[in-house]
Amino acid sequence: MAEASSLLKPSRRSRLRVMFSGFMGIVAAAAAIIACGALLAVLVYLAINGLSALNLSIFTEGPVPQGQPGGGLRNGIIGTLILMSVASVIGLPIGILGGVYQLETNTRFSRMLRFLTDVMNSIPSVVMGIFAYLIVVLPVAAMSPGHAFSAFAGGVALGFLMIPTVMRTTEEILKLVPVALRDASLALGAPQWRTTWSVILPAARGGIITGILLALARISGETAPLLFTAFGNLDFNVRLDRPIDALPLNIFNYATSPYDNLHHLALAGAIILLAIILVLSIAARYALKGQNVE
Amino acid sequence: MNSQSIAIDSPIVERARSWTRGKHAGDRIYRAVLTLAAVSILLIIIGLIYELTAGSSASISAFGIRFFTDSEWNPSANHFGALPFILGTLYSSLWALVLALPISIFTAIFLSEMAPRWLERPMSFMIELLAAIPSVVYGLWGLFILQPWLVKNVETPISKSPLASLPIFGDLANGYDMLAASMILAIMILPYITAVSRDILHAIPKSVREASYALGATKWETIKGVVLPYARAGIIGGVMLGFGRALGETMAVTMMIGNAPIFKLDLFKSGYTLASVIANELAEASGLYRSALIEIGLCLFIITLIVNAGAKLLIYYTAKDINATT
């Protein structure tokens, strides 16, 4: 009898074990609260101060000399849009076609290529910037003295940074297109290029757009590779062979300057940049939802 | 998703979609264009390695192996040693890891093992959102908020307490220091480590946990004795991915660390990292100075490559283990 009741009643030791388990649960919850708290602190600060720093003149005015009041981010915003366009022209065809290549082949070379895109994805952006500096900025400087930095060089760096993301998402989404669709097209006598162009790519459109938008979101805030490629420009510029301003460069320069009004500009720039990234990310989710491969 | 990709790899499908069969003229162009794209990716990687090596050849032949052991960085005297940057990069990233590791592992455990669904969703979404914030924006927040807070609430009290006699703490300087850089790095890598660890924990089969509960283990005993050992290699891989990110992180660190080419163990002193010195100095450099900076880039490339390759292998093998046992 005594033995049976001691089996039914939790012993002191097992109560302690349960209590310790509960205690560790509280520790884990506390860690989650600390993590989310630190991250909320960043978001809330940026939202409050960035939004209050926003006004119309920020979108319409160019920079003013340091120490003077006023000024806006027009040049940086337009510069960032131009840089993203150049990057897309370079990065998207290679990324998307590379993804199609991965789907079409299964050779030693294509497996090596998959590994190489992983490598490429882990290269720090500042190193990719050095590469663009070496293959664009330095040769230009050697050929035509007086010129060196250019919007094109910045676009090359950002374009290369887009390739791994676009290529991997394209490949993943193409894999989801049912093989039967492809077989049906081939059986009807369509050549392979026609099958890809008219059947597979349209079926995978939403997923490919998601990959593009995520890659754009990733490069829109890149700063380090632009410091010695696009370089920044106090004058308004839309030419690709001249240095160009960019929003992340503005944020960096203004945040590290000693002037209050420039700090406000940096905060406004940060909130504009975050808005761009948020819109791209939400659009990416939305595009994927519209994706219907079945 | 899985069944689809298996179907695609089956031999019948393989034959049907063997792309070398099309004899149509358009297919020849199609193949050529795709191959061109694939080869250009290969060329970018090879070009990157070649250009970095060629660009740093002047520095390599001038300093040789001494480049990595010399701690003097003096552009005006054309004397370059990378030791302070290498140590500064490793030191700030290690501290970031020490600060971020416990919090992100416990957060991952909380999200995967304990949190109710209504709480897990928004928290996970927020953590993903934070991974998308650019480095320069973290740097701005660090400059305006974190750094003054650290000076007031952490550095001043410590420097007045007996802890100040430890070698990692010293007299207060200007607040642009290793501690500030490590803190901002910790906040930046926290979402990465948490997300990867959570995914690994999610992948562990339920039956493993149920077996442990059936033996009478409590929740924590199950996590500690069964779940974590199962996920260990994968979590270590995630941690290494975070470490790799910290090593290559540029802007936020450049804005916080003080940019002084001296290495000190003291967390309250300024330092410098490989990525920061490139960001600050490459645009204006020329000749041997430029070559030395490119060699620093090469060095950063190799270090991140090793760390990331290790991380990928660990994650790959954990996923394989989990698949093998289910």
pLDDT of residue B4: 43
* CA A124 – CA A131 distance, rounded (Å): 11
Residues in chain B within 8 Å Cβ distance of A126: 248, 250, 275, 278-279, 297, 300
Q: Do A126 and B5 touch (CB under 8 A)?
A: no
Measured between CA atoms, the residue of chain A closest to residue B137 is: A270
The beta-carbon neighbor of A97 closest among B37, B308, B309 is B37
Contacts 24+ apart (CB under 8 A), B281-285: B281/B75, B282/A130, B282/A133, B282/A227, B282/A228, B283/A149, B283/A227, B283/A228, B283/A231, B285/B75
The beta-carbon neighbor of B221 closest among A21, A94, A135 is A21
pLDDT of residue B326: 59
pLDDT of residue B183: 96
Q: Is the pLDDT of residue A5 over 60?
A: no
pLDDT of residue B18: 55
Structure tokens at A50: 């960035």
Measured between CA atoms, the residue of chain B closest to residue A28 is: B106
pLDDT of residue A182: 87
For residue range A103-158, list pLDDT tens digits in order.
Answer: 888 888 988 898 889 889 999 999 999 999 999 999 999 998 888 999 999 999 99
* Residue in B4, B5, B20, B41 to test binding to A, most A beta-carbons within 10 Å: B41
* Residue in A40, A94, A101 to test binding to B, most B beta-carbons within 10 Å: A101
Pick the CATH number of B66-325 from 1.10.150.20, 1.10.3720.10, 2.60.120.650, 3.90.1150.10: 1.10.3720.10
pLDDT of residue A15: 87
pLDDT of residue A153: 96
CB atoms within 10 A of CB B293: 28
Written as tens digits, the pLDDT of chain B (326 aa) is: 344 444 445 554 554 455 555 567 888 899 999 999 999 999 999 999 999 999 999 999 999 999 999 999 999 999 999 999 999 999 999 999 999 999 999 999 999 999 888 998 888 888 888 888 999 999 999 999 999 999 999 998 988 888 888 888 888 878 899 999 999 999 999 999 999 999 999 989 999 999 999 999 999 999 999 999 988 888 998 899 999 999 999 999 999 999 999 999 999 999 999 999 999 999 999 999 999 999 999 999 999 999 998 888 887 777 777 777 65
Q: Do B48 and A131 touch (CB under 8 A)?
A: yes
Q: Do A252 and B136 touch (CB under 8 A)?
A: yes
Q: Do A251 and B140 touch (CB under 8 A)?
A: yes
In this structure, are residues B84 and B264 in contact, taking their beta carbons and an 8 Å threshold?
Answer: no
Res. A6 pLDDT band, cuts 50 70 90: low
The residue type found at A62 is: G
Taking residues A20-48, what's their average pLDDT?
A: 92
Name the residue with higher pLDDT: B301 or A39: B301
Minimal C-alpha gap between B274 and chain A (Å): 10
Q: Do B33 and A97 touch (CB under 8 A)?
A: yes
Compute the count of residue pairs across chains A and B with CB atoms less than 8 Å apart.
265
Residues 6 or more apart whose CB falls under 8 angstroms from that of B108 comprise: B193, B194, B197, B198, B201, B235
For residue range B147-191, list pLDDT tens digits in order.
Answer: 999 999 999 898 888 888 888 888 887 889 999 999 999 999 999
In this structure, are residues B83 and B69 in contact, taking their beta carbons and an 8 Å threshold?
Answer: yes
pLDDT of residue B179: 95
CB atoms within 10 A of CB B171: 10
pLDDT of residue A100: 94
Residues in chain B within 8 Å Cβ distance of A218: 132
* CA B219 – CA B211 distance, rounded (Å): 12
Q: Is the pLDDT of residue A286 over 80?
A: yes
Q: Do A113 and B187 touch (CB under 8 A)?
A: no
Q: Do B107 and A31 touch (CB under 8 A)?
A: yes
Minimal C-alpha gap between B137 and chain A (Å): 6
Minimal C-alpha gap between B253 and chain A (Å): 11
pLDDT of residue B16: 47
Q: Do B140 and A220 touch (CB under 8 A)?
A: no
Q: Do B37 and A94 touch (CB under 8 A)?
A: yes
Residues in chain A within 8 Å Cβ distance of B150: none
Model pTM score: 0.91
CATH C-level class of A56-290: mainly alpha
* Residue in A43, A126, A272, A280 to test binding to B, most B beta-carbons within 10 Å: A126
In chain B, ranges of CATH 1.10.3720.10 domains: 66-325
pLDDT of residue B19: 57
In this structure, are residues B137 and A270 in contact, taking their beta carbons and an 8 Å threshold?
Answer: yes
* Residue in B123, B137, B293 to test binding to A, most A beta-carbons within 10 Å: B137
For residue range B188-235, list pLDDT tens digits in order.
Answer: 999 999 999 999 999 899 999 999 999 999 999 999 999 999 888 889
The beta-carbon neighbor of A101 closest among B38, B44, B220 is B38
Measured between CA atoms, the residue of chain B closest to residue A231 is: B283
Taking residues A12-27, what's their average pLDDT?
A: 90
Measured between CA atoms, the residue of chain B closest to residue A96 is: B37
pLDDT of residue B21: 59
Q: Do A221 and B41 touch (CB under 8 A)?
A: no
Structure tokens at A106: 């299964």
Q: Which of B49, B102, B56, B53 is nearest to B291 (CA)?
A: B56
Residues 6 or more apart whose CB falls under 8 angstroms from that of A49 comprise: A267
pLDDT of residue B313: 83
